Amino acid sequence: MRRLLILRHAKTEPGELGKDDRNRALVERGKREAGQIGAYMTTHGLAPDRVVLSPARRVQETWQHLVEELKSAPGTSTDDRIYEASPDDIFGIVAGTAAPVRSLLVVGHNPSLQEVALMLVAAGDIEARERLREKLPPAGLVVIDFAFDDWSKLHAQSGRLERFITPKAIETATS
């Protein structure tokens, strides 16, 4: 079995015309929500073997706040292709993952992350799939399980949505 975790970066400052989009930083809410997702991942045994990040500042900061909550830091790399990736780019990164990696986390941007998640999911909780179809919010975490044992076997509609978690859902569950 292989597991793919897809995480959209946490809440950022708004983009401004003429400013470098890659350097947008997280706002305080984003920092808090990234930590919440990290704590959730630890509590629910979702720590990945490997992490691939976009080079954008908001993604790097999301990871910094999330990893503080994990019991141990997995191997991490930054891949420039994720910044303005198409769903096919993300698909290629995942399919090219080394065979020993059983659980991969990709942290990046919408719309490509939401689109690739929808492309890969064929089964799983119908309500969660509909919520994912509507929106992948900042710091939204998608967990997809695959029955195969090698990432090179990845294909459209080959996964089962194991869960779709958002900071709002975590807050609702704990209040």
Which range marks the domain in which residue 144 is found? Answer: 2-174
Structural domains in the chain (count): 1
Which pLDDT tens digit goes with each residue over 15-41? Answer: 776 677 788 999 999 999 999 999 999
Q: At what angle do helices 57-67 and 28-43 cross, to 10 degrees?
A: 50
Q: How many CB atoms lie within 10 A of CB 39?
A: 15
Angle at 110 between CA 109 and CA 113, to 5 degrees: 80
Question: Quick one: pLDDT at residue 173?
Answer: 82
pLDDT over 90 percentage in the chain: 87
pTM of the model: 0.95
List the one residue out of 13, 28, 25, 9 whose CA is nearest residue 83: 9
**What is the CATH number for 74?**
3.40.50.1240
Arithmetic mean of pLDDT, 80-91: 94
Q: What is the mean pLDDT of the chain?
A: 94
